[in-house]
A and B are shown apart, each in its own frame.
Chain A
Amino acid sequence: MPIKSYLAHPHDGKKEELINAMSQLSNCEVIPAENKDLLIVVTDTDNKIEDEQLKEKIEAIDSLKLLAMVSGFDTPKSK
């Protein structure tokens, strides 16, 4: 059950567009910086396959210039 955080850098002038696009994705929370062109993205998926699929969807967003992972935790499954 991976939880990962990323820094997402938008293309120039595309910050709002990137926020909107990311907000449409499920299992994905977005925290935009107030005063810089940067977003924190936190993904919370059930397994590695879903995690990889979500990452592919994020990377496919046109307004995204760079996605860089900061931390990743593989949490226990519910028993």
Chain B
Amino acid sequence: MYTSLTNRRSFIKKMAVLSAMTAAASMFPGILFAEEQEKNLPKGGNLDWKKAPCRFCGVGCGVLVGVENGKAVAVKGDPKSPVNKGLCCVKGYHAVMALYGKDRLTKPLIKKNGRYVQTSMDEALDLIASKMKETIKDHGKDAVSIYGSGQWTIPDGYAASKLFKGCIGTNNVEANARLCMASAVTGFLTSFGMDEPMGCYEDIDHADVFVLWGNNMAEMHPVLFSRLLDQRLKRGVKIIDFATRTTRTSMAADKSIIFKPQTDLAVANAICYEIIKNGWVNKSFVEKHCNFSKGLTNMGYGLEDKYKFTDKPEKIDFEAYKTFLEDYTPEKVEQISGVSAKDIKYMAAYYGDPNKKVMSLWCMGMNQHSRGTWINNLVYNIHLLTGKISTPGNSPFSLTGQPSACGTVREVGTLTHKLPHGVVMKKEHREFAAKIWDVPVENIPSKPTYHTVEMFRALDRGDIRFMWIQVTNPMVTMPKLKRYRDGAKKEGRFIVVSDVYPTPTTDIADVILPSAMWIEREGLFGNSERRTQHFEKMVEAPGESMSDTWQLIEVAKRMGFEKQFYYKKETHIEEIYNEYRKHHDNKKHNMAPLEVLKSEPGVLWPYVDGKSTQWRFNAKYDPACSNGEAFHFYGKPDGKAVIWQRPYEPAAEEPDEAYPYWLNTGRVVEHWHTGSMTRRIPVLHKAMPHAYVELNPGDAERLQIKTGDKVKLTTRRGEIVLPASVNQRGVPAPMQVFVPFFDENLLINDITLDSFCPISKEPDYKKCAVNVEKV
């Protein structure tokens, strides 16, 4: 980042142009900037443009991929897509280049005597099936596992769940969405009884105020953020950035409010205190549609192996809740959070104003949080108390980071406790799934096994002996990484990795399978707003690469499950999707038919009577509402949402004398996740070639550190040396540092902490204690 200023500036200019184009497209649908949009297209090309959702983040922009002579050569935004209205961010525009990195995996590799040797796909799949059978025979069903991701297409995840839960009979199915979305899921389930946002992106066009809770949208969701900026231009909306670090989002916002890490819990409660104190409660909404509950406190942080926690909800009344909030007056919370009472009242006043529609947006800041479920609950509390929910522009909205974290992990249910419809703990849900899967119901165990962190701990302990990792890179993303890397390398473990490029995760593999990527196969993704999108196969995958779906089917057949995996090569995606739809055949979650998805730029579920449902739980828009009232939170047995009493509790590890700084980790705009794809796109790699550590300018001055100097970060897990960044892109608050995690050569997760939210089991990557020294 320090040697390529020219590239950086041209990249930022491109971002500025894209933001303006996005804003223009929202104001003038169909507007064309042909010269700019087609600047990079091959001259005289005869391109065949086909639609797909973007491969990268969870926004789910619709793109048109230009194919020429069997190669994907260009991308442009799909003007028909209501998500991005014809535009993309800089990663999206370069998405097809990720297909053609020089070191693409094209042949299966098997580790023999410490070296990888090429083999045939048949031999590799035979070996995987036989190893799985052998492991089950020697160590039991729960010794085999699969770990996927929110980049799994819907058919990938479905095939994995059916094979492991339905056929083999283990709940050892997890996905990396546990690391980024699990707190959002448990937040939705505890507050509403059903997962995923009630609103949609169209809320942006109606809201008057946007409160971003620890969400650097300008870098992580640039197309959506441009929609916010466009609304400010057109309607004068307000954008409030509530964060622990000053970022580009803060700079673009109307107001930036900085809070001390973990204290968002206290501030959210203080906002609720103000709402009640000032008489801003929507009494009729709360009386008709809400219950009050409290749960257990002092839950711990999951730092020890085999940690267990089950919440015990207890109903309370409004008066008890009001009394609880007495501990969270703005003046008291100012002392905890560093946020002035005036700023707390400022935010509360917007939420409380009956004439302002408010959208709360969040992503990793609230989800990767040792009290992630609680902070999700607390933001819902604000919207429920004021009745600002499930109506256009009034929308608590959890954003996602992967193209199908919602569509696959959350909807197909590729987590240990989940089934496509319901959970493994409920007999009727197991019976329902078993019938569709054509397996004996006894096959599906009634107890969840390991969430992600515990799954890798089990691999380390030897409770798990076989792990198949598809389309994710845990040897970069796991917290307290060294333990899990060493564990995976132990004798007696067998690791299969399906991916498109060599990564630190393929380095631990016994078998590496080359996967077909994105438009090299047919598939479906589901984005943050419940939009399911189909893409067809547009180009051939290189060498022997095979889709993750078909890899699973081939192994399933080799293990004797031909009856359940009856799908034909030519039509298997359609067959799987049609079978999957049966799990959601009801008004609350109906999925659109495949032919509709093929013709439309995505459809929002529930899809009922030929229509998407934009606002769930609102009888005006949602046909599943059946209580005769304006709102029906039908995920809960009594149709009422829950306002939760959740206190502020400190993080698992806070700064002390030996480790006096907070360490926060996250992403950068140029790279998507671990950079395994975007670092192979030259313009993105050159713009951001390596990781760095951001310091507060005051701290840097005191430590005599300037940009580019080497800085050693030390935690109780280890140490790492990184170049410093001072007053550049982001500015941490005093006594805090920030490091992006995309760089496999500078693995910040070697020193992070594996504490997690006891309810969601999602790790807190945003907070641990660190010491900072100039090298």
Chain A residues within CB distance 8 Å of chain B: 1, 3-7, 29, 31-36, 38, 40-42, 44, 68, 70-76, 78-79
Residues of A with C-beta under 8 A to B299:
none
Contact, CB under 8 Å: B233 / A73? no
Q: How far is A36 from B24 in the complex, measured between Cα atoms in Å?
A: 10
Contact, CB under 8 Å: B16 / A73? yes
Contact, CB under 8 Å: A76 / B727? yes
A10 to chain B, nearest CB (A): 14
Given contacts A34-B33, A34-B34, contact A42 B17 (CB under 8 A): yes
Contact, CB under 8 Å: A75 / B9? yes
Contact, CB under 8 Å: A5 / B16? yes
- A73 CB contact (under 8 Å) in B24, B31, B248: B248
Q: Which of B17, B20, B23, B33 has the most CB of A within 10 A?
A: B20
- A5 CB contact (under 8 Å) in B17, B27, B35, B251: B17
Instruction: Give chain B interface residues in 1-28, CB to chain A under 8 Å.
Output: 2, 5, 8-9, 12-13, 15-17, 19-21, 23-24, 27-28
Contact, CB under 8 Å: B23 / A3? no
- B28 CB contact (under 8 Å) in A5, A31, A38, A79: A38
Contact, CB under 8 Å: B15 / A31? no
Contact, CB under 8 Å: A44 / B252? no
Q: How far is A70 from B727 in the complex, measured between Cα atoms in Å?
A: 23
- Closest B residue by C-beta to A4: B16
Residues of B with C-beta under 8 A to A31:
17, 20, 33, 35-36
Q: How far is A75 from B31 in the complex, measured between Cα atoms in Å?
A: 29
- Give how many B residues have a beta carbon under 8 Å from the other chain's beta carbons: 36
Instruction: Give chain B interface residues in 210-228, CB to chain A under 8 Å.
Output: 218, 226
With A29-B13, A73-B15 already in contact, 17 other A-B pairs whose C-beta atoms are closer than 8 Å:
A4-B16, A7-B233, A31-B33, A33-B32, A35-B32, A36-B28, A40-B33, A41-B20, A42-B20, A44-B9, A70-B19, A70-B229, A71-B15, A73-B16, A73-B248, A75-B9, A79-B708
Given contacts A70-B229, A79-B2, contact A40 B17 (CB under 8 A): yes
B707 within 8 A of A: yes
B682 within 8 A of A: no
Residues of A with C-beta under 8 A to B16:
3-5, 42, 70-73
Given contacts A76-B707, A79-B708, contact A38 B24 (CB under 8 A): yes
Q: How far is A42 from B31 in the complex, measured between Cα atoms in Å?
A: 18
B728 within 8 A of A: yes
Q: How far is A34 from B79 in the complex, measured between Cα atoms in Å?
A: 15
Q: Which of B5, B32, B33 has the most CB of A within 10 A?
A: B33
B30 within 8 A of A: yes
Contact, CB under 8 Å: B252 / A71? yes
Contact, CB under 8 Å: A5 / B19? yes
- Give chain B's interface secondary structure class: helix
Q: How far is A40 from B35 in the complex, measured between Cα atoms in Å?
A: 12
Contact, CB under 8 Å: B251 / A40? no
Residues of A with C-beta under 8 A to B23:
7, 70
- A36 CB contact (under 8 Å) in B31, B251, B729: B31
- Closest B residue by C-beta to A73: B12
Given contacts A31-B35, A33-B33, A79-B2, contact A3 B24 (CB under 8 A): no
A7 to chain B, nearest CB (A): 6
- A35 CB contact (under 8 Å) in B15, B30, B707, B729: B30
Contact, CB under 8 Å: A72 / B252? yes
Q: How far is A26 from B588 in the complex, measured between Cα atoms in Å?
A: 57
Contact, CB under 8 Å: B36 / A71? no
Residues of B with C-beta under 8 A to A70:
16, 19-20, 23, 226, 229-230, 233
- Give chain A's interface secondary structure class: strand
- B24 CB contact (under 8 Å) in A7, A42, A79: A7
Residues of A with C-beta under 8 A to B17:
5, 31, 40, 42
A4 to chain B, nearest CB (A): 7
Q: How far is A5 from B14 in the complex, measured between Cα atoms in Å?
A: 10
List 7 interface pairs A-B (beta carbons < 8 Å), by A numbering: A3-B13, A7-B20, A40-B21, A40-B36, A73-B251, A74-B251, A76-B727
Chain B, residues 193-206, CB within 8 Å of chain A (1/0): the string is 00000000000000
Closest 4 A/B residue pairs (Cβ): A5-B16, A71-B19, A5-B20, A34-B32
Residues of A with C-beta under 8 A to B35:
31, 34
Q: How far is A35 from B5 in the complex, measured between Cα atoms in Å?
A: 35
Residues of A with C-beta under 8 A to B229:
70-71
Residues of B with C-beta under 8 A to A5:
16-17, 19-20
- B20 CB contact (under 8 Å) in A44, A71, A75: A71
Contact, CB under 8 Å: B13 / A79? no
- Closest A residue by C-beta to B36: A31
- B8 CB contact (under 8 Å) in A6, A34, A75, A79: A75
Contact, CB under 8 Å: B24 / A40? yes
Given contacts A71-B19, A72-B251, A79-B2, contact A33 B24 (CB under 8 A): yes
- Closest B residue by C-beta to A6: B20
A22 to chain B, nearest CB (A): 14
A3 to chain B, nearest CB (A): 5
- Closest A residue by C-beta to B2: A79
- Closest B residue by C-beta to A29: B13
Q: How far is A3 from B2 in the complex, measured between Cα atoms in Å?
A: 18
Q: How far is A66 from B101 in the complex, measured between Cα atoms in Å?
A: 44
- Closest B residue by C-beta to A78: B5
Q: How far is A44 from B8 in the complex, measured between Cα atoms in Å?
A: 13
Q: How far is A77 from B31 in the complex, measured between Cα atoms in Å?
A: 35
- Closest A residue by C-beta to B233: A68
Contact, CB under 8 Å: A33 / B13? no
Residues of B with C-beta under 8 A to A33:
24, 28, 31-33
Residues of A with C-beta under 8 A to B729:
76
Q: How far is A70 from B252 in the complex, measured between Cα atoms in Å?
A: 9
- Closest B residue by C-beta to A40: B20
Q: How far is A27 from B186 in the complex, measured between Cα atoms in Å?
A: 50
Residues of B with C-beta under 8 A to A34:
31-35
- Closest A residue by C-beta to B34: A34
Contact, CB under 8 Å: A79 / B21? no
- Closest B residue by C-beta to A66: B233
